[in-house]
Amino acid sequence: MTRIVVIDNHGQFTHLEGRALRDIGVDTEILENDTDPADIDADGLVLSGGPSMDRVGRCAEYLDLGVPVLGICLGMQFMAEELGGSTKSGDYGGYADVDVEILDDEDPLIGSLAPETRVWASHADEVDEVPEGFARTARSDVCEVEAMSNPERGLFGVQWHPEVAHTEEGEAVFESFRDICESR
């Protein structure tokens, strides 16, 4: 059975991420973000959302574990900054429904989603520039980088929360991530 660890960055939806993965048959554990990387045994990691970039613990070390990583909201923003991209304050704060446009129908994480899909996201902060080696894979009228991907490294990020009921096709995002983890 595929094992995916959710790294808790103190976000309000972390437990829903674990639940969404368990619901698709994934062995899932939620670990604090100060867990020693040597103690993590997983086929993949989810870097959860959270309140602030200064509370991401040892997440930088987790990017080097050699397993696929999915960054959600703050998890994606952290990944972008850590790997040489940039973030900025968004023009729209708070949570809201957003229609995102999928830019790459070949992307292993979100390429199978409808060309335009409705998601639930906060845009208080957002990725401004993707790191070298990443592609921007989704955008919206609110944010130019709704998702990013580096399939060669197994690193993916979404601005939105696939774990909440308000996001259409959220389960498909987790299924695709599970498949990515199983294929490595």
Among 59, 81, 146, 161, the active-site one is 161
Q: Report the number of distinct structural domains present in the chain.
A: 1
Q: Supply the pLDDT for residue 52.
A: 86
* Backbone CA torsion sign across 102, 104, 106, 110: negative
Contact 146, 159 (CB under 8 A): yes
**Boundaries of domain holding 43:** 3-182
161 is catalytic: yes
Among 17, 126, 146, 163, the active-site one is 163
82 is catalytic: no
Among 73, 81, 143, 175, the active-site one is 73
Question: Range with the lowest mean pLDDT among 14-18, 94-98, 136-140, 165-169?
Answer: 94-98
Q: What is the CATH number of the domain that holds 64?
A: 3.40.50.880
CA separation for the pair 147, 105 (Å, rounded): 13
Question: pLDDT digits over 124-143, tens only?
Answer: 999 999 999 999 999 999 99
Query: Taking all residues of the chain, what is their mean pLDDT, rounded to a whole number?
Result: 96
Confidence of residue 75 (pLDDT cuts 50, 70, 90): very high
116 is catalytic: no
> In this structure, what token pair is assigned to residue 130?
């993707």
**pLDDT mean over 144-162:** 98
> In this structure, what token pair is assigned to residue 119?
């998601």
Closest C-alpha among 73, 24, 26 to residue 53: 73
